Structure 1
């Protein structure tokens, strides 16, 4: 299946060539085959949400820092996830145009923009004030109108109303019950669960009032702030 856009030789801007190669060489091989997701990744400009200092990393198969090097080392969750991870999450959640979506961990706002392009409404919770300001500025200047960025701890402060899809954009030791309780019937939640060296991407689906859990693939993501860690051994 070819990408539902121009062919490679028709692109005139280097960013569009890099985006095409990102999709064809990184994302498709990671079992991302939803044509709506692929066209959304081609349409929403990732470079708009990438800090100027790291613009050369926009389309690389790496996490992109959102803070200067010295600060990012102490806050590794302040990043854009690798493109193939963002794409696979969207592919597996199968978000529909009428749905309401919750994101935990807004970062630069890029994932929120993708979610907004796929759904009716997005609420994105971010615990760090500087990331809230960054995401709001990026989304506003890009013209995204159906995403609300809220400063809150997504492990404890969940908006009312229920959600059809929930994305936890980072890793947690376990999924808080408050987030599982926020799923509507037919809702799906994707989170990276566990501890290094092995974490598992966990997909939860609510069907007939019951939660069905699968772990379709493995990948380690930075730990999100505000989520509880397990107690160590005490002697």
Structure 2
């Protein structure tokens, strides 16, 4: 019951923002967010607040998660790279929308927990890896979409080689010491068109740290 009410309230808030993509909303409805948050936060699974998860990491609020997925504009048949698995919620929703998702996180615990949740939901086209996301994922070919939920201090170079022409890269970028902007880059040939979307709370990308957790 809480799940249904939470989802309905979220849909109303998103519609007010102009987000009404039926495929996206259906994918979210089929992916119960309460299964991805710590039990004590189950009643806040669909709220806009940031929720703490294992390893000192955070799960973005439902509104921000959906806003990012909407701006990523994923299509069926695409390959998506998700940098920062966290709870696994974004990867799970992406898995329902497209052909293949590779999701990476530096924390072994988070990858293991997310894997169990995906298996429980029967989502088989999402591959989870424990890896340092600061260089993307070399050796995996190119992706149609790349989403990062961890902030970069400067625009990373890896996306240029790992994104197909016409592909979209969405990532938080530190534009000043205390301001983080969600940026969307669209690749056309060898050029990139940059759009600054909106300010976001940030979790810096820490390379090569705490992989034992």
TM-score by shorter chain over 0.5: yes
TM-score by length of 2: 0.90
Once structures 1 and 2 are overlaid, which stretch shifts more, 118-127 or 53-62?
Answer: 53-62
> Could you tell me how far 1:179 is from its partner in structure 2?
2.4
Q: Which runs of 5+ in 2 are unaligned?
A: 209-213
| SS in structure 2 at match of 1:172 | coil
Indicate which of 34, 40, 52 corresponds to 2:39.
Answer: 52
2:64 aligns with 85
> Could you tell me how far 1:157 is from its partner in structure 2?
5.4
Question: Partners in 1 of 2:24 and 2:202 — Cα distance?
Answer: 21
TM-score by length of 1: 0.82
> Could you tell me how far 1:17 is from its partner in structure 2?
1.3
Indicate which of 84, 102, 116 corresponds to 1:105.
Answer: 84
Extract structure 1 runs of 4+ deviating beyond 3 A: none
In the alignment, is the contact (CA less than 8 A) between 2:86 and 2:105 conserved in 1? yes
> Could you tell me how far 1:196 is from its partner in structure 2?
4.8
Question: Partners in 2 of 1:64 and 1:108 — Cα distance?
Answer: 10
> Could you tell me how far 1:41 is from its partner in structure 2?
1.9
Indicate which of 218, 225, 233 corresponds to 2:206.
Answer: 225
Question: Partners in 2 of 1:47 and 1:196 — Cα distance?
Answer: 34
Question: Partners in 2 of 1:196 and 1:29 — Cα distance?
Answer: 32
1:17 aligns with 5
The alignment of Structure 1 onto Structure 2 pairs a total of residues equal to 207
Question: Partners in 1 of 2:136 and 2:93 — Cα distance?
Answer: 23
In the alignment, is the contact (CA less than 8 A) between 1:100 and 1:163 conserved in 2? yes
1:149 aligns with 128
Q: Which runs of 5+ in 1 are unaligned?
A: 1-12, 228-235
Aligned-CA RMSD value: 1.9
2:103 aligns with 124
1:205 aligns with 186
Question: Partners in 1 of 2:114 and 2:31 — Cα distance?
Answer: 15
1:8 aligns with none
Question: Partners in 1 of 2:3 and 2:132 — Cα distance?
Answer: 35
Residues 94-148 of structure 1: CA distance to partner in whole angstroms, max 9, x if unpaired?
1001100000000111110011111100000110111111111111111110000
